[in-house]
Structure 1
């Protein structure tokens, strides 16, 4: 059984057993627990769920749109045949000053790459999408909003802070795409991928996702071995990776579990 399935399903089970029930801005009530944490050693295993299908290519495209293209233009994502942001697209085609806009505005990826190469023991390597000044002009304020970076023994470690985590739909995407990000950044600066720690402040299950997640929990004993992440060996420049350069080898899963997104 993959480590990703083990840790993820433990949180799902805890929420269903002990979660606090309340409404929220979407109008679809949730069960929630605060301060849930997963941690993966990326040298040992790539974290993606096998107890349900996770759309890996879609997750990678969204990641590159935010971190590499540093875009807030949903039309650029749609040109990659990715539609995860369609519900939040404004009439101008953007999501306002959110996500990639904040990375580009402050050249945060370039700063991170430079610091990792020149001062890897720096304790201020932080990328933040939570810009208080711009929050009112965001179609959706960032959920996975901050990463903290560390280098130990030539291994690149990353902590992702997520203010709000939809366990059914969002978290499986986020855990996988930020693990990819650590691999890409590590390759770009000549390090090995290390620890990826995923901290979720408000981990919740929407009421209309409960039955699907119970089905997933029932698959726990059938979970299979995690796949292997393969990066194009000819590319070391973070800005040159395409979705085709990022592949999974032997991704075996137990099938799709449809769930409706809460907007």
Structure 2
């Protein structure tokens, strides 16, 4: 299969080739989590999104509804995990859970912690907030103005980058400034986790909308399948809102790695071959990009191979 022409290859071979390259050739190193990784620097994947196509992996099950719920949560600007936990989405629970366990000495399970976040408003306010992560930066980037005496004050409302990109795509499609940025240097220290999928840029070619997602850090086994879906979904929503056709998603990775304790997952996934042609239909066009609901999305043609799991490095 690896000798087939690019046009004949299943889109997922790009991902598997990247995984194999990292596992066999990556630089082994100690990382922030202490788990250890094999890493390469600088990687690129490209996916055609025309005709409803999405970069949804088939060699293992990717919970696309969970990834979609997370992305819609980003668009709300919320930074507390309470709404996610109420939907059964635990993507972000491990970071506040770890903080709570260290502070309290309570060896509470993740399930019990999540349930308490949902049930107890005061507990959620104290322990469920992640700081100014993705959604805050995307929809309310802080702006400061002179307040006299050499002081500055923060404006009540910041910059809604997503809304500005929608407007710029509509009125000035040839702009080179269709960018949504998550890396706010001044607020990195307040975040539970600095943004990994940090920069999105969009480009209009004719009536086609293309998008580029740059990640400074990428967990290829667990994170990248969700990141690819999220980047493609962002492009699809923008295209619908701006009366454009989905074009190509370009993904670029900085420190692109596999964790050493993901060996079983990696070996199992590399032994599989991709198959199928999943498509995403968006069933409704709301008045705003901020108005989508999980019920608006339908995936067909998706028959993934068995679920593969591995521990998250916190």
TM-score range, shorter chain: over 0.9
Shift of 1:77: 1.5
Q: Which runs of 4+ in 1 moved over 6 A?
A: none
Deviations 1:127-149 (A, max 9, x none): 10000111111110000011011
Structure-1 residue corresponding to 2:271: 218
Higher mean alpha-carbon deviation, 108-117 vs 76-85, is at 76-85
Shift of 1:237: 3.0
Larger Cα-atom Rg: 2
Structure-1 residue corresponding to 2:281: 230
Question: Which of 113, 136, 151 does residue 166 from structure 2 map onto?
Answer: 113
- TM-score normalized by the length of structure 1: 0.95
Shift of 1:94: 1.1
Q: How many residues get paired?
A: 260
Deviations 1:166-196 (A, max 9, x none): 0110001100121111111110111111110
Verify the 8 A CA contact 2:238 2:289 in the aligned structure 1: yes
Question: Which of 165, 180, 184 does residue 218 from structure 2 map onto?
Answer: 165
Give unpaired runs (5+ residues) of structure 2: 1-7, 100-125, 141-158
Deviations 1:47-66 (A, max 9, x none): 11000000110000111111
Verify the 8 A CA contact 1:95 1:138 in the aligned structure 2: yes
Q: Distance in 1 between matches of 2:128 and 2:187?
A: 18
Aligned residue for 1:111, secondary structure, equals: helix
CA RMSD of aligned residues (A): 1.5
Aligned residue for 2:250, secondary structure, equals: strand
1:62 to 2:115 alignment = no
- TM-score normalized by the length of structure 2: 0.80
Q: Distance in 1 between matches of 2:219 and 2:271?
A: 20
Q: Distance in 1 between matches of 2:137 and 2:286?
A: 26
Aligned residue for 1:53, secondary structure, equals: coil
Question: Which of 228, 236, 240 does residue 175 from structure 1 map onto?
Answer: 228
Shift of 1:233: 3.8
Q: Distance in 2 between matches of 1:182 and 1:71?
A: 21
Structure-1 residue corresponding to 2:121: none
Higher mean alpha-carbon deviation, 207-216 vs 83-92, is at 83-92
